[in-house]
Each structure stands twice: as structure tokens, then as C-alpha cells.
Homo-oligomer: A and B are copies of this chain.
């Protein structure tokens, strides 16, 4: 842990803007009855519930279940038997005893919600529970509302939802999702940061997050995929090949957006260190494949072979390192030579000339992710990339994308070879579909062909406001 860096991060701790949202009611519940409140939009914050009673004096503690839901579907989902592999602890559901009514029940935890369901699980035969008022103390570190852009109502709707998603994830750090995991992941940060530069412009929050990652690098310089900040700053022990490397373009984007050479200079050695550390995963100039679950992320897809994509991410990040060095007048001849070698090896090893596509792993898997990242790494020129992406689109059996994170990279790859119409179509069909289904914020995971899908064994653990889904606001401003 680098104390100096962590002190800088601490000094950049943002103030949260609080906004009270109140729902008045005089709902009377008997035992077993429930009521659902709709706050009308997605919020992050704490909630106070003003309870009273009717009938005889309260002769037994009230047992109340309070469930917070980001989307309408969650409200009535029975989570009793939830047995997904991701912790049940994420389900925003509390069982609380109230010994003495009337009572202003201030729930201490922070929730992400639009809907609040209150159920009188146990009262007594003699009294009823009254709900007088719900007050949400909502929080964000987003400085202000940003005007919505878009040429059509759907574009405007998409931008509004993406901006809301960003805003909700902007807390003391850029969180991946305010319901889950409520913390800073490098992959999410990179997309939040580029969207931030053209929307909320809370650049110090990006700076704080860069220092949190830098300050929690291990003694060898490895940057964790994720940083915890409560109860104290701590790196996760999850290290992913791509996430660590993506510190480099995240720093470059920050420098480009802010011109803050001091920070870039201070963090450059650690950024370059990621390239060096990544070499342990290479055999010669080729990334060694691995069976280790999650060794490289790319997309939330267990069927995806990561070898080729990892090689592409390396080249992409090395090129960002070159740009950083050039801006900061640092020598980078060795990196350039390395990029040449890795690019040649990538094409020799992974490019299937017959298919005209990159393939990955021992089984020579064709996937969107691998080909997209090879495009982003610019291993080919613009025209060849455009042709490759066309072939990919019509290739039968390519492993598809499952997360908005991966869709972001697809769109970026498309716009970088002037395939703006395709890119635009995907924004409208992917994010637009979520919007049409009633999203207030964009989801962590979305399969337009199966909107109920969850990799966690139950949708109850899904995050419906997820940072890596916010980039339509970036694309709409930058490219359309």
C-alpha cells in the first residue's frame, strides 16, 4: 500500500449531494398485508419510515419486512429459497422488529431502489400497522444534472437513462453498481471516466479512483481489479490480466481530458509496471491460455476463451502507454518494439486467414470479444477492420456478447472504422430495448433475446443500475 497515494485519494473524497424524496401515505396494514411504494425513479440512499398503529395498543412487537427493488419485477420475487452462487446477502431485504409504535424507523443501510415493499409479517390480533410517510435521503456525488442529448425521442430516452445510471453510481467512488457490488472496479471505472468527461465532468472523482488503485497496488506493483473502501481501503485479491492493464488507457484518457500532467507523471511508472507484470502471462510473444476462472475478464461469459482477447488488450494498452510516454516526454522505444513483436505474433498465431477472423485457444474459438479487441488494438488498418467486423457479423456460431461492457467495446470498434450506422443500430437495439422495457437505469446484464437471464442463478442478485452500461451518453455526445 502506498500511503502517499492513498492520502491523495482521501483528500479527494467528494461531498455527497443529498436530496430528500418523501411519499406521504396513511396506509393501514393488518398482519400478512403489504404495500408497494413507487418513488418514480431510481434512487440511491437511506430511507426513514414513519410508522404508527391503529386499534388496541401495540401488544406485541411488529415484525416488518422491507424490500427495496430497482425494477418492478424484483418487488414480488420470492427470495426465500434463493440459492444462486452470488451471495444472498446482496438481496435488499430487511426483517425488522419494532418494539414500540409510533416509531420513525431510520434504516441505516444504503439501498438502490425505485420500489419499496413493506409487509406486516407479524403484528397481533389487536392492532394494525400504519405507514404514515417514507422519506428517502438520496445521495450522489454527481455535481448537477446534465442536459439530455439525442436526435430522436428514443435517443433522448437512452441518454437520460444512461445519465441517471452514471449519476447513481457516482458516490464516494465510481461504483460499479449501487445495489451490487457498491465498489470500485477498474473495468467499470474506465467506461465511467470517459462518459464523465463529456457529461458530469467530475474529474477529481476519476483522479481519486486512480489514486485508490495506485495506492493499493501490491508490493510488486500489481494493480487489483477492485478496491474496497469500507471500513478501510483495501485491494481485492482479484487480479485480472485485462483489468490491471486497463489502468494504462484509463490514465491516458484522464490526461487527455484534464491535461493534468502532474498526476499522469506520478502514476506513469505504475502504469508501465502493468505491462512488465503482464509478461509473466506470456510464452514468448503470445499470451498463454489459462483454465483459471476469471484470469482475464473481457465479458461475463464462461464459454468465452480469453487467450486471443487478452493478447489484444495487451497491445491496446501498450499503445496507450506509448501515447502517455509521448505526452509526458518519456522514452518508449522498447514499448514500440514490443508492440510490433506482439502484433506480429498475434496475427501469426490467432488470425485465421481462411475465415478472415481471429480465433482463440486450443479449440480456435471464434468470438465477438476477441475480434473486437483486436480491432480496438488496431492490429489492422481501418479498412481491414471494417471488413473483419462485417465478416464477424455474418459468421455463424461466433460466441456472442452478454454484457453492456462488451457491447461498449463493439460499438467503439465499429465507430473507429466508420461503421457508425451499425454502431448506432446496436445502441438503439440493445440499450433501446432496455429503455423500451421500462428501465430507469441500465442493467449490468442484458440479453435482448432473454431479458430474464441471470448468470447468478436468480435475477434477485442482478444489478439493474450498472456503471458499465452508461456509455451511450459517451457515444451520443462523441460520435452521433
Contact = CB atoms under 8 A, between A and B. Distances in A.
A421 interface: no
A28 interface: no
A181 B103 contact: no
Given A61-B89, A87-B63, A231-B103, A109 B97 contact: yes
Contacts of A56: 236-238
A130 to B, nearest CB: 15
A122 B88 contact: yes
A230 interface: yes
B99 A230 contact: yes
Given A63-B87, A63-B89, A121-B88, A99 B109 contact: yes
Contacts of A295: none
Given A56-B237, A61-B90, A99-B109, A85 B231 contact: no
How many identical subunits does the complex contain?
2
A228 interface: yes
Interface string A32-69: 00000000000000000000000011111111000000
Contacts of A101: 231
A300 to B, nearest CB: 16
Nearest to A95: B95
A125 interface: yes
Contacts of A180: 60
B89 A237 contact: no
Contact of A59 (B58, B60, B181): B181
Given A59-B228, A100-B231, 8 more contacts: A60-B87, A60-B90, A60-B181, A89-B121, A89-B124, A99-B109, A100-B230, A101-B231
